[in-house]
Amino acid sequence: MKRSALRAVAANVATTGVSLLRNGGRDMNKSEAVAFIRGNTELLSPPLTPEIILHLATESLPIWRKTEEELGEMNVPPPYWAFAWAGGQALARYVLDHPDLVSGKSVIDLGAGSGLAAIAAAKAGARSVLAIDIDPLAHAAIELNASTNGVTIGVSSQNVFEEPLPDTDVLLVGDLFYERDLAQRVLELIETADLRGSDVLVGDPRRSYFPVERFAQVTFYEVPVTRELEDSELKRTAVWRLAAPPAHSSSLRHDIVEAA
């Protein structure tokens, strides 16, 4: 599955409000979702995080087609949850190697997918972890993956276009800059969280809409990926923190101060 194909359906992900385990033509109850995930994935460790095991697909198109068959609907969003994206892998590795960043703290993993970064935070000693993702199948996958790794993670179906984020000590954002509107919204959420005192860490291999000028690189990894998904075998992927804003771009800061 090429990124262009992913992007073509990403607008659907970004604008479709879905309730738990309903995603189109028919409802899928939780046990059906779990059975679907177990039946169409393998237990694998992402290359950068051998200490974490996830239910992952080895190819993208078969599981995407099966998702459409199972839900009785065409053009459903891609099963992002079935892959450990380069950004999420980098973020998870960084958190596992720097547990002080999350230990004893509340953590949100935004657009959590498989829950990889959320699981890394829980394993590193976070006090609470909330994984937010709009995709109902991702919820089942995150819960399954959390239990496989012996950690507890809360799950929220919040659509980032519709609500502000809950307050949190640490905000993790893995690979969410692949679609223009989503990227813009995610940047706004990151800036707001930063102003409210959250430590925001972003994992991103400079996707098409990653605003590199707004971030400072913390570290980088060469992340093994598949040619099917990424057209390469290694993806240089950085962990980033928000850079100090230019003095003149203070409108958001002004709004926050006014609202406080």
- The yes or no reply on residue 240 touching ligand SAM (CB under 6 A) is no
Interatomic CA distance for residues 111 and 96, integer angstroms:
19
Q: From 159, 151, 171, select the one nearest 18 (Cα to Cα).
A: 159
Interatomic CA distance for residues 34 and 55, integer angstroms:
10
Contact residue for ligand SAM among 80, 94, 177, 215 (CB under 6 A): 80
| Angle made by CA atoms 202, 208, 212, in degrees to the nearest 5 | 50
Alpha-carbon 72 to chain mean position: 26
Interatomic CA distance for residues 120 and 102, integer angstroms:
10
Nearer to ligand SAM, 8 or 257 (CB): 8
Tokens of 148: 């496989």
- The yes or no reply on residue 81 touching ligand SAM (CB under 6 A) is yes
| Angle made by CA atoms 141, 96, 224, in degrees to the nearest 5 | 70
Least Å from the CB of residue 247 to ligand SAM: 31
> Which amino acid makes up residue 114?
S
Q: From 240, 28, 233, 62, select the one nearest 141 (Cα to Cα).
A: 28
Q: Report H helices in the chain.
A: 3-15, 30-40, 60-71, 86-97, 116-123, 136-148, 180-195, 227-230, 251-259
Nearer to ligand SAM, 227 or 254 (CB): 227
* Residue facing ligand SAM at closest CB distance: 88
Site for ligand SAM in 46-75 (CB under 6 A): none
Contact residue for ligand SAM among 122, 146, 176, 190 (CB under 6 A): 176
Least Å from the CB of residue 28 to ligand SAM: 15
- The yes or no reply on residue 153 touching ligand SAM (CB under 6 A) is no
Nearer to ligand SAM, 24 or 174 (CB): 174
- The yes or no reply on residue 85 touching ligand SAM (CB under 6 A) is yes
Tokens of 95: 């958190």
Least Å from the CB of residue 87 to ligand SAM: 5
Tokens of 14: 């970004």
Contact residue for ligand SAM among 24, 113, 136, 205 (CB under 6 A): 113
> Interacting stretch for ligand SAM, rule CB under 6 A, among 49-57, 112-120, 146-154, 225-233?
112-120
Least Å from the CB of residue 44 to ligand SAM: 13
By the criterion CB under 6 A, which residues form the site for ligand SAM? 13-14, 80-81, 84-85, 87-88, 111-114, 116, 132-135, 138, 159-161, 174-176, 178, 182
